[in-house]
Amino acid sequence: MAHVVSKKLLATDDALEQVLPLCVSKGGFRLARVKLDHDGIVVNFVLPDGVPIKNSSENGRNHSSEKILLKAPEIVGSCVTRSTESISKSVFLKIFAYPIDESKRNPSRRRISITMEFETQPTMEENYHHAMKWANFVHDMLQPDTPIFGSPDVCFLGMSSTDKLLVLVNPNSGPGKAYQIFRKQVAPVLSDSGVAYDVIITQRANHAHDLMKTLDLQKYKAVAVVAGDGLLYEVYNGLGCRSDWMSALGLPVCIIPGGSGNGLAKSLAYWRKDPELKRPRSQCLISALNLVRGTPKPMDLILIHSHSGKRYISFLSFGLGLLTDIDIQSERLRILGEARFTLWGIGKVMVQRRYSVTISFKRASGIKRDELKKSASQSELQSQTCESRRPNLQHSISCHAPHPEDPPSPSTPDEDDVPNEFPGNPEVEDNDDSSSFPLGHSRDEVELGRDALDESLWNKKTSTRKADYSHLLQKGGADAACPFSDPVPEDWETIKGEFLLVYVVYQSHISSSVMMIPEAAPDDGIMWLILMPGSMSRPAIAKVLLQLDNGMYARVPGVRLIPVTGVRIVPHDTQGLLTIDGESIPFEPIHAQVLPGLARVLVR
């Protein structure tokens, strides 16, 4: 007589195990031994007598047809349904996951669903409670700190059926595929997770900005943006206009790339070392999974005041010169997506524009002189001249510190460790006597790109505690003028000259194909000031543009990277292009500082 396998549930506090009918995606039902614990789900298909089916693959990964392993982070949700047949007592539990298929050279995620049939109990109601026991265990596995309410209308991520996400979609972003991305790649993930959401399709410029100014923040757990970086810029600046702007800017956000640039989405994936990073088409799925399985992590924001009194909130970059000109002037080619940057960049190599600018900055502490490496050889430096002098400057508080009780700026390194030399045309102002240095060397070290970065900066943990930034609101309202007539503080440095590029970056990427600062993290409290002097040759400029995809542009002689916590940019030209997060603003002096860890982004 053949042995028949027992279908009795084996349950402990840490695991559930049972043999029951199961189907994968659209396949047929087969008998399987299923074990569910807090690490994930293991499925072994068995014969009717309970003997596991042998298969040629013993690695147990997702591509094996007889054994399936789904890790907990790959699972997004589940649902319990009853049989629609009147004579059936079966209840089904469907579990949705997006595992990585590691059998391919470039790992990729694919959607998989596992449907378990519960039919051993005498009645459908008993089978339903049996299935709910598994469903609640899945809920605990996804959110171990979330209490179980014992109700089928409880969603994951600690969200009840009354909680919602707000999804903003810009159908005109970049090549115009944002709505298609939402419908085909984001909505299915949201449906699988069981999370409720509202969708708003933006109708005009600044639609999201105006919406966020009056949005009831208690209504939504998080905001997702399906567009380029421009729509998220609207979101943050709309939140920044509210009376409760400090708490409002902490609303968790998720960026799903649907535009031309997509710099923040790429930066977050790069920061979290997602294995699918090499597959551009997977970026939307990565971000959608962040939305339903991510946790809020702190991200720095940058507060920027303009000379005319406007206040801006930034999360990516700002500046003027080569990259800004390419970005804005190529807008007419936006239908081409990111290819427009490459095409316009070729033309900018031939036709260069130089900007006369005064740049003042507060250097970030932590990088010592002996840890820096030269960006050019000694002979190259000696062939260039730099006018260094000791000015008689009277300093006062900076524009972002209007009150005497404001906390002091972070300390700078010892003066002997501060390199102030800039190879090329610009002249430098500081409070040190540089007469003892050779011509062209106000210090014996200069900044380089990747190799010059002090690893201690990246190992240093920044505080996730929200600080009080209320003193940053000027008397007279959010748009009160910044006192640009006041000199910068004594511990700031100043550079004057002609530049091809003056750019400040605080993420690793400014688009999905342009890597600016490989070591940057969203919460490191640092801005990176990138300078290209006006004396750079066309071959050097071309080399910079050709190496933007891997961050190696910083090794080109003449390029300078400076870690800062505050910066003031004063252009002397009457006309030009100035951008924040890729959005054009009036061409005028600006002053920026870091708001450490004020924002929250959803990542896994």
Is 284 found in the same domain as 321?
A: no
Kindly state the percentage of the chain with pLDDT values over 70: 68
Asked whether 326 and 511 are in contact (CB, 8 A), the reply is: no
Asked whether 191 and 248 are in contact (CB, 8 A), the reply is: no
Boundary residue ending a domain (262, 293, 324) = 293
Is 505 found in the same domain as 595?
A: yes
Residue-wise pLDDT tens digits, 526-573: 999 999 999 999 889 889 988 888 999 999 999 999 999 999 999 999
Q: Which domain holds residue 283?
A: 164-293
The domain that holds 208 is classified in CATH as 3.40.50.10330
CA 90 to chain centroid? 44
Q: Structure pTM?
A: 0.77
The domain that holds 121 is classified in CATH as 2.30.29.30
Is the model's pLDDT at 596 over the cut of 60?
A: yes
**Selected catalytic residue, list 192, 229, 274, 524:** 229
Q: What average pLDDT does this structure show over 168-182?
A: 91
| Residue 406 covered by a domain | no
Is the model's pLDDT at 356 over the cut of 90?
A: yes
Is 333 found in the same domain as 284?
A: no
**pLDDT for res 281:** 67
**pLDDT for res 397:** 26
- Between CA 304 and CA 527 the distance in angstroms is 12
Boundary residue ending a domain (293, 315, 344) = 293
Residue 78: how many CB atoms within 10 A of its CB?
26
Asked whether 131 and 120 are in contact (CB, 8 A), the reply is: no
CA distances to 43, 228, 279, 458 from 603, rounded to whole Å, are: 28, 17, 18, 19
Q: Are strands 164-169 and 220-227 parallel, antiparallel or unpaired?
A: parallel
Give the residue among 144, 160, 83, 81 at the shortest CA–CA distance from 113: 81
Residue-wise pLDDT tens digits, 15-58: 999 999 999 988 889 999 999 998 999 999 988 755 666 554 43
Is the model's pLDDT at 371 over the cut of 70?
A: no
Confidence of residue 61 (pLDDT cuts 50, 70, 90): very low
Give the residue among 287, 297, 288, 289 at the shortest CA–CA distance from 265: 287
**pLDDT for res 65:** 59
Is the model's pLDDT at 292 over the cut of 80?
A: yes
**pLDDT for res 348:** 57
The two most distant CA atoms of the chain are separated, in Å, by 102
Is 101 found in the same domain as 220?
A: no
Is 241 found in the same domain as 102?
A: no
**pLDDT for res 318:** 98
Is the model's pLDDT at 439 over the cut of 80?
A: no
Asked whether 9 and 29 are in contact (CB, 8 A), the reply is: no
At residue 462, φ and ψ (nearest 5 deg) are -95, 150
Q: Are strands 197-201 and 164-169 parallel, antiparallel or unpaired?
A: parallel
The domain that holds 523 is classified in CATH as 2.60.200.40
Is 354 found in the same domain as 314?
A: yes
Is the model's pLDDT at 378 over the cut of 60?
A: no
Is the model's pLDDT at 517 over the cut of 90?
A: yes
Asked whether 554 and 521 are in contact (CB, 8 A), the reply is: no
Instruction: Look at the chain and report how many structural domains it folds into.
Output: 3
Boundary residue ending a domain (89, 108, 142) = 142
Provide the H-helix boundaries in 240-377: 245-248, 263-271, 283-293, 322-329, 339-350
Residue-wise pLDDT tens digits, 422-435: 444 455 554 333 33
Is 314 found in the same domain as 256?
A: no
Q: What average pLDDT does this structure show over 245-269?
A: 93
Identify whether 486 is a catalytic site residue. no
Is the model's pLDDT at 119 over the cut of 80?
A: yes
- Between CA 540 and CA 109 the distance in angstroms is 40
